[in-house]
C-alpha cells in the first residue's frame, strides 16, 4: 500500500505484485479519513507493507500520517518504507507557505519563491519499486519552527 498525504487530496494505492489495482482519493482531513480508509481496506484486503511520502508538505498531515502508519506497521508487524514527495510529482515544485515552494536540487530540498515550473498534482505510480524507498521513515520537516 502507498500513502501520499502531503497535500489535498490524500492518495492511497493498493498494489499486488508491484502493480496498482485499487486507488483511493479524499479531500477530507487526513486525521479523519485515514483511519476510515484503512478500516475499509482491512475488511477486504491483507496489508503486507506500507510505503509513504515523508515530505515535504503539510506539516500536520505528514505528522499524522507518520504516527498512524508507524503505529500500524508496529501493531501489524509489517514494514514501513518512505521516500520524498518528489517521487510522486515527477520532481516538480511542492507548495509550501505563501509564495514559497519546496524544490529538490541535487538531493537537497530547499525553499524558493522563484520557480521555473508550476507545481503539479501528486499521482500514484502504476508500479512500485521497493528500491526507490528507504527504511528511513522520519518525516521531512523542512520549515523552521515559528
Structural domain total, the chain:
1
93: cell is 515544485
pLDDT tens figures, 70-128: 999 999 999 999 999 999 999 999 988 888 889 998 888 988 888 877 778 999 999 99
Tell me if 128 is assigned to some domain: yes
Tell me if 6 is assigned to some domain: yes
Tell me if 54 is assigned to some domain: yes
Contacts of 5 (CB under 8 A, 6+ apart): 11, 30, 34, 52, 53, 57, 58, 61, 62, 64, 65
Q: What is the pLDDT of residue 99?
A: 86
pLDDT tens figures, 13-64: 999 999 999 999 999 999 999 999 999 999 999 999 999 999 998 889 999 9
Residues spanned by the domain of 11: 2-86+122-132
* CATH number of the domain encompassing residue 80: 3.30.420.40
Tell me if 140 is assigned to some domain: no
Tell me if 80 is assigned to some domain: yes
Query: What is d(CA 11, CA 3) in angstroms, rounded to the nearest whole number?
Result: 6
pLDDT tens figures, 128-142: 999 999 999 999 987
Locus of grid cell 515530505? 55
Amino acid at each position: 500500500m502507498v500513502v501520499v498525504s502531503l497535500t489535498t487530496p490524500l492518495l492511497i494505492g493498493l498494489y499486488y505484485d508491484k502493480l496498482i489495482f485499487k486507488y483511493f482519493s479524499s479531500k477530507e482531513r487526513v486525521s479523519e479519513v485515514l483511519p476510515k480508509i484503512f478500516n475499509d481496506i482491512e475488511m477486504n484486503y491483507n496489508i503486507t507493507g506500507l510505503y509513504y511520502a515523508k515530505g515535504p508538505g503539510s506539516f500536520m498531515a505528514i505528522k499524522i500520517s507518520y504516527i498512524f502508519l508507524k503505529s500500524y506497521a508496529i501493531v501489524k508487524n509489517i514494514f514501513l518504507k518512505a521516500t520524498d514527495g518528489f517521487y510522486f510529482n515527477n520532481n516538480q515544485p511542492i507548495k509550501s507557505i505563501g509564495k514559497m515552494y519546496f524544490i529538490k536540487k541535487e538531493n537537497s530540498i530547499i525553499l524558493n519563491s522563484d520557480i521555473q515550473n508550476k507545481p503539479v498534482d501528486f499521482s500514484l505510480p502504476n508500479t512500485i519499486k521497493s528500491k526507490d524507498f528507504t527504511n528511513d521513515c522520519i518525516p521531512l520537516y523542512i520549515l523552521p519552527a515559528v
